[in-house]
Amino acid sequence: MGQRQDTHDRRNRGLWIGLALPGAIWLLVLFVAPFYVMLSVAGGGINEFFQTVVPVWNPLPWSSWNLSAVWHDIVGHGAFIGPPAFRTFLYTAIATAITLAIAYPVAYFVSRYGGRRKTLFLVLLIAPFWVSYMMRMLAWIDLLQQGGFFNSALSFFGLPGNTNWLGGKSVTVILGLVYGYIPYVILVLYAFLDRIDQSMLEAARDLGLSRWRTFWHVTIPLSKPAIIAGTFITALPMLGDYFTNQLLSGAP
């Protein structure tokens, strides 16, 4: 009986391995290998004469013995562990925090006070994002250039209006990231806040909690999964968003 059970377990194990093997090979070929090549290129530079990418290391002659050399290249050249990486994570953290700080009140207002106009509010919020992302960034460039609307408005109110906002300023990149990803966070938060059982909020009020304490001690804890989901939805694309940075700052 025990031997038969062992044979059955081995068959099941072999079956699961056989089912998982095609997916593992697919993942290795179409994700791991391209990601390894992307790492070598992402930390490299540009050949000034040929204007071609020069990778940190040559990804083609890969073998297990040069793993230590690859790691030395990554750390030693500062391609991924250095000021650029620090700025990337810093900009992403700040932009994510600002996005959540703006998106949560908007989603809360629409879910609680939108009434029959909820759909209209959501359409008005996301309508600008039906336009191409590049067109929206080009519109921001037109607004932020030296003779653009933003500097003209500052001059009108007696403030310095000659700031070069497109000259590599961190605030421009961060606000561009916030603008690009905030609708996704609003939709995620709204979808969750709209499903919160109102009887729980009413029970908290009946127990003597004020509106603010009810919001802080009931609504916020209940919406933590949506906040976490919104954080990942925002932060992960921001980490790899080269396009916004390049357009709004002109500097990598």
pLDDT digits (tens, 9 = 90+) for 199-220: 888 887 878 878 888 888 888 8
Residues 116, 28, single domain; the answer is: no
Is residue 58 domain-shared with residue 115, that is, in the same domain? no
Average pLDDT of 220-235? 91
- Decide if 47 contacts 55 (C-beta within 8 A): no
Report yes or no: 176 and 244 within 8 Å, Cβ to Cβ.
yes
Secondary structure (3-state) at 61: coil
Checking if the pLDDT of 95 tops 90, the result is yes
In a shared domain, residues 35 and 145: no
pLDDT digits (tens, 9 = 90+) for 165-176: 777 788 888 888
Task: Report residue 244 CA to chain centroid gap.
Answer: 12
| Residue percentage of the chain with pLDDT more than 90 | 12
Same-domain pairing of 110 and 162 = yes
Last residue of a domain, one of 32, 60, 76: 76
- The upper half-sphere exposure of residue 227, i.e. CA atoms within 13 Å in the direction of its Cβ, equals 14
Specify the number of domains making up the chain. Answer: 2
Residue 59: per-residue pLDDT: 65
Residues 99 and 208 in one domain: yes
28/62 same-domain check: yes
Nearest one of 89, 92, 90, 83 to 43, comparing CA atoms: 83
> Is 108 in the same domain as 132?
yes
User: Between residues 6 and 102, which one has the greater pLDDT?
Assistant: 102
Q: What is the CATH classification number for the domain harbouring 141?
A: 1.10.3720.10
d(CA 230, CA 67): 36
Of 32-41, 78-87, 101-110, least confident by mean pLDDT is: 78-87
**Residue-level pLDDT at 104:** 93
In this predicted structure, what is the pLDDT of residue 252?
43
List the domain range (segments joined by +) for residue 111.
Answer: 83-249
Q: Is the pLDDT score of 81 beyond 80?
A: no
What is the b/e burial string over 13-49, where b = at least 16 CB atoms within 10 angstroms of the residue's CB? eeeeeeeeeeeeeeeeeeeeeeeeeebbebbbeeeee
The pLDDT value given to residue 8 = 57
At which of 76, 91, 109 does a domain end? 76
Angle, alpha carbons 137-140-145 (nearest 5°): 125
Same structural domain, 208 and 101: yes
Average pLDDT for 78-91: 72
pLDDT score at 103: 93
Lowest mean pLDDT among 109-123, 128-142, 157-171: 157-171
**Do 160 and 180 lie in a common domain?**
yes
- If asked whether residues 112 and 205 sit together in one domain, one would say yes
Does residue 180 share a domain with residue 60? no
pLDDT at 77 over 60: no
How much is the pLDDT for 65? 54
Query: Is the pLDDT at 93 greater than 90, yes or no?
Result: yes
Cβ atoms within 10 Å of 10's Cβ, excluding its own: 10
Domain match, 116 and 232 both: yes
pLDDT in tens, 41-76: 766 667 777 667 777 666 666 655 555 655 665 555
Q: In the structure encoding, which two tokens stand for residue 32, read together?
A: 């791991």
Which of 48, 76, 104 is a domain's end point?
Answer: 76
Stretch among 62-66, 86-90, 124-128, 153-157 having the lowest mean pLDDT? 62-66
